[in-house]
Amino acid sequence: MAKGEDLDGRPIKPITICMIGAGGFIGSHLCEKLMKETPHTVLALDVYDEDKISALDGYDDKIKHLLEPYTVEWKGRLQFHRINIKDGDSRFEELIKKADLTINLAATCTPAPAERNTRTRDTIYSNFMDAVPIVKCCSENKKRLIHFSTSDVYGETIGSYLPKDDPLREDTSFSVLKEDMSPCILGSIGNIRWAYACAQQLTERLIYAAFAGPENSLEYTIVRPFNWIGPRMDFIPGIDGSSNGVPRVLAYHLIREEPLKLVDGGESRRTFIYIDDAIEAILLMIENPERANGHIFNVGNPNNEVTVRQLAEMMAEVYAKVSGGEAIENPTVDVSSKEIYGKGYEDSHKGIPDTTIINRQLGWNPTTSLWDLLESTLTYQHRTYAEAVRNEQIEENKQKLRQRSERKDKKRQKKNKDKMTEFAAQKKVDKSNATKKNQANRSKGTGKKGENVAIEDDKY
């Protein structure tokens, strides 16, 4: 394929892309690729709510390097719009109408353990309800849509239901996930771990209904990502944006020289793909609509399959190399899923993406090894976050010392107060005893005098 031509040898025409959720990890890399290697224009949309601290804080900082300075060679081809679809802002519809293609990256993943009960409804709303007007607008205006779903829609694999000691459990035919054949097996309604997967699956079904309906008005492609890893995938308060929020960094515990927590021993198996390989796949979808339309694509690297424990051990080894430090002696610690996620947590044991369809349609294959993608990612994270995380540790230690000092002061104050209370109580008792003694003494003297007075009164 020559530069400037699609896979069928046709010249690639410049198009306008409306990218919803452009300020995040994937969006920042996709915008960068489009600006540097294509003539396309991007209308980049992302949320902005200065009064609300959420997982979206700081996301626009991930594309700041593409927006500033304004003298860059792609000036005018990347336009950033702060729009929150949740607010019913109709501007996003106008941007979709102006564009040739809409890419929907907006999503709220399964909430953190501490937020499961409070944010599950938000997860469903964000991944289904907020997607409905996007699908509707694209369908009604005959605009092409690339929707980012999740590999979570597959749910549990068939192999997960086999006994743990069953040799068939490791048979790849029970764990390879195929877009057009594998069932989507989710857990019970009461298990909120599956809320995100269910919402995304419902959005996929809505998109397919808009495509396969009587009017057949929607040209679509659905992307199912399998653990994309790379620079800018994380968030450190005060560096990536707001100073509020929860740190989310792949190497966070390694930077702090703390062991990585492995849920239920880290026995689950996963595949991981480098962001550059994945973005190359998306660019092929963008520039080859005839080959990509009407398809669901797994985008993952089946060659980078490891257990979570193996991943953690490799991360510790790689981070020691890129940081120039010593590897943590005990890089992992086992924790129960109940401790981290609560009672009834479920997860898929093993899920390997089948990439037959994307290879056949787009000729795409990932090339980056697990070691190389970890080395690139952890090098970036060490360079970007190590100093901030260590300063955070210093502040934490100072805070602990202050709290310890405050506890000692409070304990000392309480001890002094108790002594004073005890002293006051004893003083009160002593005073009471002295009063009683004086009263007793007076009673003896007064009694004799009283008798004399009484005798004298009788005289009258």
Q: 95 with 22: CB under 8 angstroms? A: no
Q: Name the residue among 300, 145, 296, 143 with its Cα closest to residue 223.
A: 296
What is the token pair recorded at 192?
Answer: 């909120």
Q: 200: Cβ–Cβ under 8 A, 6 or more apart, which residues? A: 107, 127, 128, 149, 150, 152, 153
Distance in angstroms (rounded) separating the CA atoms of residues 119 and 199: 13
Distance in angstroms (rounded) separating the CA atoms of residues 195 and 121: 8
3-state secondary structure the chain: CCCCECCCCCECCCCEEEEECCCCHHHHHHHHHHHHHCCCEEEEEECCCCCCCCCCCCHHHHHHHHHCCCCCCCCCCEEEEECCHHHCCCHHHHHHHHCCEEEECCCCCCCCHHHHHHHHHHHHHHHHHCCHHHHHHHHHCCCEEEEECCHHHHECCHHHHCCCCCHHHHCHHHCEECCCCCCCECCCCCCHHHHHHHHHHHHHHHHHHHHHCCCCCCCEEEEEECCEECCCCCECCCCCCCCCCCCECCCHHHHCCCCEEEEHHHCCEEECEEHHHHHHHHHHHHHCHHHHCCEEEEECCCCCEEEHHHHHHHHHHHHHHHHCCCCCCCCEEEECHHHHHCCCCCCCCECEECCHHHHHHHCCCCCCCHHHHHHHHHHHHHHHHHHHHHHHHHHHHHHHHHHHHHHHHHHHHHHHHHHHHHHHHHHHHHHHHHHHHHHHHHHHHHHHHHHHHHHHHHCC
What is the token pair recorded at 369?
Answer: 């090894």
Distance in angstroms (rounded) separating the CA atoms of residues 268 and 259: 18
Based on the residue annotation, tell me whether 208 is a catalytic residue of this protein.
Answer: no
- Which of 70, 125, 154, 196 is the catalytic position? 196
Parallel, antiparallel or unpaired: strands 78-82 and 176-177: unpaired
Catalytic residue set? 196
